[in-house]
């Protein structure tokens, strides 16, 4: 069986961690994979740490990414990197907010989508599913700015080298 892909997305409440993981899960779902995504979202709206796990592949069992088995760790807030680093496997990819050049985003709120753009360069999900998944999770008036954000993140990842750990 194909290995399951494990992605952990983390940040602070209000940053769009859960929206980003919904989008990623939906993109994988649209691409025809088995998908599970899970998080604890008790008090996330009060600004505390939030993280969400997305797993996809031919068959996914547990909805939680085991510690040390994340292929990709996507972090929206620099202070959350160290807390979540134990999730990453050896050789896994860490994508943090510093990937984007200063002022690259028109709207700071689209950081989550920009970083998904970066993630899209290391996952085997076709581009059209990404866009459909992002649109499905956002009001229509936000589509354009998030199109741009996704492209900015993707470009930054393709230009720079994403850190392997």
Q: For binding to other proteins (CB under 8 A), which residues are involved? A: 12-13, 22, 25-26, 29-30, 34-49, 51, 60-64, 66-67, 79-80, 82-84, 86
CB of 25 to other proteins, least distance (A): 6
CB of 33 to other proteins, least distance (A): 9
127 Cβ neighbours under 8 A, 6+ residues apart: 120
Q: Is 103 exposed, middle or buried (0-12, 13-18, 19+ CB in 10 A)?
A: exposed
Nearer to other proteins (CB atom), residue 129 or residue 154: 129
CB of 48 to other proteins, least distance (A): 4
Contact of 162 with 99, CB cutoff 8 Å: yes
Cα angle 92, 121, 15; round to 5: 80
Nearer to other proteins (CB atom), residue 61 or residue 158: 61
CB of 120 to other proteins, least distance (A): 18
Half-sphere CA count of 142, side-chain side, radius 13 A:
17
Nearer to other proteins (CB atom), residue 48 or residue 101: 48
Residues in the chain: 165
Nearer to other proteins (CB atom), residue 10 or residue 72: 10
């Amino acid at each position: 069986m194909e290995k399951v892909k494990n992605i952990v997305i983390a940040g602070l409440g209000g940053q769009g961690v859960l929206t980003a993981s919904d989008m990623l899960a939906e993109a994988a779902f649209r691409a025809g994979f088995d998908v599970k995504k899970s998080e604890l979202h008790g008090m996330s709206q009060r600004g505390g740490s939030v993280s969400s796990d997305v797993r996809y592949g031919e068959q996914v069992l547990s909805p939680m990414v085991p510690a040390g088995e994340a292929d990709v760790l996507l972090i929206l807030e620099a202070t959350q990197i160290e807390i979540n680093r134990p999730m990453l496997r050896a050789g896994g990819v860490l994508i943090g907010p510093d990937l984007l050049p200063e002022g690259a985003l028109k709207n700071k709120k689209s950081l989550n989508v920009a970083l998904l753009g970066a993630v899209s360069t290391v996952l085997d999900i076709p581009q059209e599913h990404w866009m459909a998944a992002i649109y499905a999770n956002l009001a229509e008036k936000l589509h354009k700015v998030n199109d741009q954000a996704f492209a900015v993140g993707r470009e930054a990842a393709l230009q720079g080298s994403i850190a392997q750990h």
